[in-house]
Structure 1
């Protein structure tokens, strides 16, 4: 088989399938998506070798991980699962690492033990066959073995520069004891998933200015202060006192949808519960008017037609913000019925 293997949040397989189908068609790559609800992954079958380059991982909204599909192996013999995998990998490029995983679903969680133990057996076999380097090499392609069942696995290859750098596509973040809310993890993950390492270095500097719309109780403001940004937090509700005590925060009791800064800011973030189109329009106004250069915000998706709503909201941003340099969106691990958007405008 050829095509893509992408993982996603359980229950969002139709959205990912719709996204892959539309994006592939726009790129001129004919193919079809195959999945079932709650599988936690989508296979997009396509013979076009340019598909992977046409659909970069950071540009996909609902894909946690993106892999070039190598093979789907069914009816594996539990006594020897390795031999069919070695046969399927004949002619594959030299590999720098191997990750054995399972979909992030309720049904697949019992496979975690198999994934751990099988990885320990597969690595020496791959090295003996000359397919895996003696030591981990992050510069080379990485093999992923995705166990769907004990006798059913999919093999995919990740290019490190065009794939999530975390197993299952999930960054392992720990909620700090002084974080005002769990929502802090969403902004931390957004900076990791939506910004490349070089962008984090150039776009997040101590001393920069930011606004947090709908800030209470202060989770996203707290994340910004940890980057040593000066934050104006907009919310009629209270912020945690230790966030205010950083000396980096000005709390204004105002409506986040009406407030605007007196001077341009470097950043604006927003996690307000509002209709996604209204949020997209307000974020576009901030960018168009030059009130901020960079923004991260969430769009709360409807229960139905979530991919269609995503397309519409992103188009609103492109049309109304005017001359965006960057526009990316992801459904993060710490998101639920929402996606997180990063947009930037103007010189870096």
Structure 2
């Protein structure tokens, strides 16, 4: 790790990640032939590689300009000039963020002030205020990364190609008072990134459901849930008419009929979980998959590669995405579907 934050190079990519996971992101980018470079805590740079979507990256932006030093007004003017130079002339969603580290978080207030100053220098008719509308508006996400040691990076990515619509990939979900565990926020963030999500009448199977964090959020959407776990659910979930609690091992369970969605958040060995999910795909027991894979080992990328291969080659799951989301810790979230 460099002693001070390094400036990113224009035309390269700036990736953000969870603090402490820079080596895993670096290795992933190196395997892809993207020639990565550590810039500082939670920040990695790489060259452009077509179709690159690193699992350990929260967000990625093509660097327009890096600014070092200067007064806030001078930096804001230079950043606004960089935005105006982007091809197409808007629409833009301008978002400021800091690296998700103790040093980075101290810059949150200056970063917000910088965002306001840059937006004030741009034509208001070119700005989109709601990031969630960015994809349908064909907007470009403009990331203003205010990093320690006086480094500010201006990057951009078409919203339709972005890993996350949240600034710096920090998608904070609110913890509902009735949610039984932090796991509920992981599910909310995973569903937030999908084109559609479970709705009223959908049949969902939740493997390893207890105490019921994911089941509770699915029921709140109107879905019917088969919750599979030998342990007990929260009493209010066990009594819910839209919840069927099957008290047996997820590895032994076989559904009576195919489900619309398969969910899984089990604290179990990753390759065994991948083989279980592959069985569901191979046998056509579900059409959509959302699962959390635990990665407690130090050497994560080789295991993650085998998980991918198991799900795609043995399970037949398509459109596989593998991401370490904001609410993930030593784990990643996978989503996929089956056409048949």
For normalisation by structure 2, the TM-score amounts to: 0.87
- Say which of 282, 294, 300 aligns to 1:288: 282
Paired with 2:77 and 2:201, the residues of 1 have a C-alpha distance of 56
Paired with 1:79 and 1:119, the residues of 2 have a C-alpha distance of 11
Paired with 1:86 and 1:267, the residues of 2 have a C-alpha distance of 44
Match of residue 40 from structure 1 = 42
In the TM superposition, residue 19 of structure 1 has moved relative to its aligned partner by 2.4
Paired with 2:148 and 2:122, the residues of 1 have a C-alpha distance of 22
Match of residue 124 from structure 1 = 120
Q: Once the two structures are superposed, what CA deviation does each residue of 1:203-252 show, in whole Å capped at 9, x if it has no partner?
A: x2321212211111111111111222211111121111111233101112
Match of residue 28 from structure 1 = none
Paired with 1:64 and 1:5, the residues of 2 have a C-alpha distance of 11
Contact 1:7 1:42 in 2 (8 A): yes
Match of residue 160 from structure 1 = 159
How many corresponding residue pairs? 321
Q: Once the two structures are superposed, what CA deviation does each residue of 1:280-327 show, in whole Å capped at 9, x if it has no partner?
A: 0111011111222222111111331212211111111112113x3321
Paired with 1:251 and 1:312, the residues of 2 have a C-alpha distance of 31
Contact 2:318 2:338 in 1 (8 A): yes
Contact 1:70 1:88 in 2 (8 A): yes
**In structure 2, do the counterparts of structure 1 residues 106 and 249 end up closer, same or farther at CA, with 3 Å as the change threshold?**
same
Partner SS, residue 276 of structure 2: helix
Match of residue 105 from structure 1 = 101
- Would you say 1:239 and 2:230 are equivalent positions? no
The gaps in structure 1 that reach 5 residues or longer are 26-30
After superposition, where does 1:251-266 map in structure 2 within 5 Å?
251-266=245-260
The gaps in structure 2 that reach 5 residues or longer are 1-9
- Would you say 1:9 and 2:18 are equivalent positions? yes
**In structure 2, do the counterparts of structure 1 residues 123 and 341 end up closer, same or farther at CA, with 3 Å as the change threshold?**
same
Consecutive aligned runs of 4 or more in structure 1 exceeding 6 Å deviation:
none
Partner SS, residue 309 of structure 1: helix
Partner SS, residue 205 of structure 1: coil
In the TM superposition, residue 158 of structure 1 has moved relative to its aligned partner by 2.2
Paired with 2:167 and 2:83, the residues of 1 have a C-alpha distance of 21
**In structure 2, do the counterparts of structure 1 residues 325 and 135 end up closer, same or farther at CA, with 3 Å as the change threshold?**
closer
**In structure 2, do the counterparts of structure 1 residues 79 and 221 end up closer, same or farther at CA, with 3 Å as the change threshold?**
closer
In the TM superposition, residue 114 of structure 1 has moved relative to its aligned partner by 0.4
* Cα RMSD (Å): 2.1
Contact 2:269 2:294 in 1 (8 A): yes
Partner SS, residue 144 of structure 2: strand
- Say which of 317, 325, 333 aligns to 1:340: 333
Paired with 1:261 and 1:89, the residues of 2 have a C-alpha distance of 53
Partner SS, residue 333 of structure 1: coil
